[in-house]
Amino acid sequence: MQGNGSRPRIVVTGVGVISPAGLNPNMLWSGLLAGESPAARITRFDPSDFKVQIACECNDFDPLAYMNRKEVRRFDRVIQFAVACTTQAVEHAGLEINAGNADRIGVIFGTAIGGLGTIQEGYETLYAKGPRRVSPLTGPMMLPDMSSGQIAINFGVRGPNHCIISACATGNAVLGEAAEVIRRGDADVMIAGSADAPMTPFALAAFHRTGAMSTRNDDPKHASRPFDAQRDGFVFGEGAGAMILETLEHARARGVKPLAEIAGYGSAADAYHISAPPEDGSGAVLSMQRALDNAGLRAADIDYVNAHGTSTLLNDVSETKAIKQVFGERAYRLPISSTKSMTGHMMGAAGTIEGVVCIKTMETGIIHPTINYEYPDPECDLDYVPNEPREAEVRAALSNAFGFGGHNATVIFKKIEDE
């Protein structure tokens, strides 16, 4: 779809984050600018029998800061994350929800995996104690759509309500599709976000067997090293991000200053392989180009790219080639950074959280670094903002998210310059 100057402008008015690098947006941003990785030995279970023993965990997260004890017992960790970051976003946006507007506020909250902790616990109970001992709450707690459902329940909103699952492209797909719900007139406000809490023995074993995870157990803080020649895979992460979306006119009517505009969204399939990207990055090229077309922008209008940048051998090369195809010679002068160098790969949550990072970049005029970039890779030869933050005026930022199954989703954020 081409950009249309007459179509409603969708803006972000509030954000929330639960991440290993910070438990709210400001904490996350401070952590990213400090250039420190929270990666460490896994604490949620004993990883001694695993070849991969490191991850980026949200160890300081306290669900009781956002919900009561009964809810904590009834919510899988992924739902706890989702409710927590949504609470932050609603408060940040100054969004008052009442009987007069509840029907016009919707939710799209995605996940790559869903309630995996509940599934693991349920299986262990089944085989150790029998079917009668499996909790009746297991079914609802493990469902991938339960975060979007529970957010609607907790906040009393009755607008469109969906869950999107597109592996690690989920976070960006959620933002793009939520914007379209508003544009077609089905809601005035959308709560859009994504969450994942995959820190379980089963998930660790399963993803390690794909060959895509780092085994740098003796040096976890340097394990996630996107675009570096010595990268050996991604580092597991967990977390959630949320945004409040509405039209610019609706935000103005509420007397709220927007944080940024969601200017463009594009998605595409690789149609190539269940886990490996095509060598030429063709699906990512389509996704980025469609986002530019949707925004009515040229490649020359983009000032910064927040890369998918997983630190895997295949993804980083493929994404680099895709960026070169879209941006041509300008690709070599375009600042690019990977948030995953400091958060690990938060799976479906990554895209939404990295969208928050794009907004903070435009707000502060600072680009966070890609840390652990020490050994240049001849196939990854762009400007990855290595190791130190950089001051820069960023008016438009492009964020990539790609996932197993060949899913690609790109969102373009623009600074609101006419406020």
Residue 291 to residue 399: CA distance in whole angstroms: 10
250, 308, 368, 407: the active-site residue: 308
Active site residue 273: no
168, 250, 358, 380: the active-site residue: 168
Active site residue 168: yes
Length of the chain in terms of residues written: 419
How many other C-beta atoms lie within 10 A of the C-beta of residue 251? 24
Q: Which helix (H) or strand (E) holds 201?
A: helix 201-208
> Pairing relation of β-strands 239-247 and 189-196?
antiparallel
> Pairing relation of β-strands 105-110 and 366-367?
unpaired
Extract the runs of DSSP E, i.e. beta strands, from 117-165: 161-162
Contacts of 102 by beta carbon, 8 Å cutoff, 6+ apart: 156, 157, 158, 159
Cβ neighbourhood burial of 243 (10 Å; 0-12, 13-18, 19+)? buried
Q: Which helix (H) or strand (E) holds 366?
A: strand 366-367
Active site residue 162: no
Residue 380 to residue 350: CA distance in whole angstroms: 22
User: How far, CA to CA in Å, does 41 sit from each of 52, 149, 321, 342?
Assistant: 9, 33, 33, 15
Return the sign of the alpha-carbon dihedral for residues 347, 281, 398, 32.
positive
92, 250, 345, 407: the active-site residue: 345
Buried b (16+ CB within 10 A) or exposed e, 395-411: ebbbbbbbbbebbbbbb
**Catalytic site positions:** 168, 308, 345
